[in-house]
Structure 1
């Protein structure tokens, strides 16, 4: 929703997009209404974008590139930076690492990992958190989370290995229907060739070993084959590069995977919980 106060707090990237779009619109001798018609937006939406009352959405930036970009790629480039500014402060640096990663080893303990969330699950989760967020901010964060899914189809493909605690699959978020759709989406993701999805069963500790007790973690292999660890708890985060620490966390992640159900067993459990057991 366009708000007057947004004009005062708009980020440098948002201001740059607004100024470039307005300059290029005037150069082409288009009114806001005419540009809106070409973009698929109203004149009011174009005005809000140009005054920073409502920053350009990801879809609007794509449309601006198509209509005004003139082969420069300027609005396409801006999409990346606008996305970064949307993420919570503690997540911004990791988001860049995630999108460029060669391999991700992920362990989620409380809720479905953000990369694997459906839009409805993410909205229920973000909107139901505390402190409560304004509707506009919830929508902004949901859209930003969905954009991350581009990683699944990126070329070259990233190898993504996810272990979920079984309790994540039985903790309903939003509604029974939302959770059922989320489980079915996990099953769909598990069938991707670049994804390995495993479930760490609730009775894992009965064997006398449980490597997952220290919480969620993300091990990242970067495009230059550097290994990093990202940890996040209670909206605080740490990115670790010390080789000894990274090695320890990578070993722990490997142990968690070893204690988890195999990928076929995990898929079967997810399908069973979704009511789709084959």
Structure 2
């Protein structure tokens, strides 16, 4: 049933890749099984891709480029857009902005921000959500979330700041071992030269109050040096462009960051909690 729904709701990039791959395969005189053998996938996987029952994975697109691409780079260029097809509808506009951003300033209040999640943590989080998703869809979303981490290696380099509440570090997602891996990964990210991670402690402020009580936010600087704010209340999304409002969010973020532990203290706390998560 899920695959039938996929065929009906497949996005334009998924359909374009399916059509290109089928036509190029037929031109070579190959069956689906033969193409599968060439790219290291089963014939059934090729069939699922060509019928849009299952969008091509990044790994499949890489192999299709090598075997069918003829040096044109079409399948390589399609990777980002096929990935967008996999995201929830409300996230797609932001995803494009995120990958092209000059800088990102992130504040996470409930869970580790998606850019910093490990595969196991993301799988536990997505799989445990509501309404329940088919396993195929969970894996699709996990793969798409992991692909976002390409931002850290991109050239020109993006500057990423993350402030997350201490309660996020102490909330166990997926069990102790998954959480330990997540904390160690977060510490590794914090050591990157283009990344700053700060923890907002439980006892921040004079009496525990802090400027982030209204929830998480993302501030984006585009390649054109425009500034935007992005919010995700529940399963909705809100992209804010009005300069006055964006400025207000920027000031709030600056206050949150000022109330957080400095990067060295934050890294020490993350490493200590990772040691305790056994």
- Classify the TM-score, shorter chain: over 0.9
Corresponding residue number in structure 2 for 1:179:
179
CA contact (8 A) 2:2 2:134 kept: no
What is the CA–CA distance in structure 2 between the aligned matches of 1:51 and 1:131, rounded to whole Å?
Answer: 27
What is the CA–CA distance in structure 1 between the aligned matches of 2:31 and 2:250, rounded to whole Å?
Answer: 56
Corresponding residue number in structure 2 for 1:39:
39
Corresponding residue number in structure 1 for 2:231:
231
How much has 1:214 moved relative to structure 2? 1.2
Q: C-alpha offsets along residues 6-59 of structure 1, whole Å, 9 cap, x if unaligned? A: 333333322221111111112122222221111001122222222223222221
SS at 2:41 equivalent: coil
SS at 2:219 equivalent: strand
TM-score of the two chains, using structure 2 as the length reference = 0.95
What is the CA–CA distance in structure 2 between the aligned matches of 1:246 and 1:79, rounded to whole Å?
Answer: 31
What is the CA–CA distance in structure 1 between the aligned matches of 2:86 and 2:208, rounded to whole Å?
Answer: 43
Corresponding residue number in structure 1 for 2:21:
21
What is the CA–CA distance in structure 2 between the aligned matches of 1:9 and 1:215, rounded to whole Å?
Answer: 32
Corresponding residue number in structure 2 for 1:104:
104
Q: C-alpha offsets along residues 217-255 of structure 1, whole Å, 9 cap, x if unaligned? A: 000000110000001111111111111111110011111
User: CA 1:252–1:64 in 2, change beyond 3 Å: closer, same or farther?
Assistant: same
What is the CA–CA distance in structure 1 between the aligned matches of 2:71 and 2:236, rounded to whole Å?
Answer: 40
User: CA 1:264–1:27 in 2, change beyond 3 Å: closer, same or farther?
Assistant: same
What is the CA–CA distance in structure 1 between the aligned matches of 2:275 and 2:261, rounded to whole Å?
Answer: 19
Number of aligned residues: 277
Which range moved further: 24-33 or 144-153? Answer: 24-33
What is the CA–CA distance in structure 2 between the aligned matches of 1:73 and 1:154, rounded to whole Å?
Answer: 18
What is the CA–CA distance in structure 2 between the aligned matches of 1:177 and 1:143, rounded to whole Å?
Answer: 21
CA contact (8 A) 1:2 1:54 kept: no
Which range moved further: 23-32 or 210-219? Answer: 23-32
Which range moved further: 225-234 or 3-12? Answer: 3-12
What is the CA–CA distance in structure 1 between the aligned matches of 2:91 and 2:3, rounded to whole Å?
Answer: 25
TM-score of the two chains, using structure 1 as the length reference = 0.95
- CA RMSD across the alignment: 1.7
